[in-house]
Amino acid sequence: MKQLADKQQEKNIFEQMAHHEQVMFCNDPATGLQAIIAIHDTTLGPALGGTRMYPYQSVDEALEDVLRLSEGMTHKCAAAGLDFGGGKAVIIGNPEHDKSSALFRAFGQFVDSLNGRFYTGTDMGTTTDDFVEALKETNFINGIPEVYGGSGDSSISTAQGVVHALEATLEYLFGSHDLGTRTYAIQGLGKVGCKVAFHLLEARAEIYVTDLNPDRVRIIKEKAAKTNGNVYSVDRGDIYRTEADVFIPCAMGAIINDQTIDQLKVKAIAGSANNQLQTPGHAEKLQEKGILYAPDYIVNAGGLIQVADELYGPDPERVLVKTKAIYRMLFDIYQQAETDGVTTAEAAGRKVRRVIKEQQSRNNFYTRTRRPKWHIRE
């Protein structure tokens, strides 16, 4: 990350944000808040993206991260068919000891000053408690707890979306989306991986699991004892070599790389982890090896669908219906990739570009107000 930041430093700020609409530097000496909000593209609607808190070594490193992440959000929102654009914020600081209620209230004021151009919530290093503070200053927050009128834990919808993605993948590969007759290798049994594992066990599937934390593996084993499914734990490094139908990465990014692709003995990859491919070229390597790759930002869109939906007023049933669409979205991407003779990652990228282009032409149509109709908290 540092090397990239150094390279970025050689460019001036406008060159760095050449593809972004707006970058806002937020400085509040009284609370120590130093944050950057990046709005990448609002063609589809207001920018949406979480706020990350991280002890960046330099402002350039933070800027590089927020520009990259906000661009990714434009793709995610477009692929999921949401009326949102891409944005993201980073707070420079250590989440262990630099947090205070005042800091998040100050951040909320900055978000509010954008007057609905940017909606945010939790990300790495921030929690719903932090955003309950920000919510005192602004309504432009999503992913808040149920007691504050929000939709609560979004990892439930993310896991549900992963299950639909698995079904679409099986249907495409084997002509049946029956989860129980297949085998799976799951990396990471946290908030998402654990729920996916539970679901697969309930469906009587055979799963191979690994997690850095032995307690997480123990929880799954206890669960398996109450189902007809089977669970086997494997060592951390062995998960890539595990023979199974589908590899489900639910831990960290960049795990599909030159080292791991050679080891993989699966027919498909479909998991929640963000940025699974170390480089775009790894999508081609997977294709050459005959491994079907489900683009991560489609597989893990469930949580995003939930927090976007929250602005209509929380409704778990409606979110469930919307999350089901992941099955169709992914299946269509698989088919399109086959038709066009491209990788699934490229097919997803083409879809994103098409969605944005179509809306760009519709945005020329003058209406008295372009404000979305779901400002329920105003």
- 11 catalytic? Reply is no
Tell me what percent of the chain is helix, strand and coil, each rounded to the nearest 5: 50, 15, 35
- Cβ contact 106:75 at 8 Å: no
Measured from the CB atom, is 225 or 252 closer to ligand NAD?
252
Phi/psi of residue 200, each to 5°? -65, -35
Please tell me whether residue 23 adopts helix, strand or coil conformation: strand
Measured from the CB of residue 158, what is the shortest distance to ligand NAD in angstroms?
3
Measured from the CB atom, is 34 or 306 closer to ligand NAD?
306
Measured from the CB atom, is 34 or 233 closer to ligand NAD?
233
Q: What is the dihedral of CA 359, 144, 124, 258, to 10 degrees?
A: -50
Measured from the CB of residue 127, what is the shortest distance to ligand NAD in angstroms?
12
The DSSP code sequence of 46-104 is: SEE--EEEE--SSHHHHHHHHHHHHHHHHHHHHHTT-S-EEEEEEEES-TTTS--HHHH
Cα–Cα dist 182/204, whole Å: 9
For ligand NAD, the nearest residue by Cβ is 190
- Cβ contact 63:16 at 8 Å: yes
Measured from the CB of residue 373, what is the shortest distance to ligand NAD in angstroms?
26
The residues that touch ligand NAD, with contacts defined as CB under 6 A, are 154-155, 158, 187-193, 210-213, 216, 236, 250-252, 272-274, 300, 303
Q: Please pick, among 88, 99, 195, 351, the residue that the annotation labels catalytic.
A: 88
* Strand 33-41 versus strand 85-92 pairing type: antiparallel
Measured from the CB of residue 208, what is the shortest distance to ligand NAD in angstroms?
12
Measured from the CB of residue 76, what is the shortest distance to ligand NAD in angstroms?
9
Measured from the CB atom, is 42 or 155 closer to ligand NAD?
155
Measured from the CB atom, is 114 or 249 closer to ligand NAD?
249
Cα–Cα dist 89/318, whole Å: 28
Distance (Å) of CA 147 to CA 123, 133, 144, 151 = 20, 14, 8, 9
Active site residues: 88
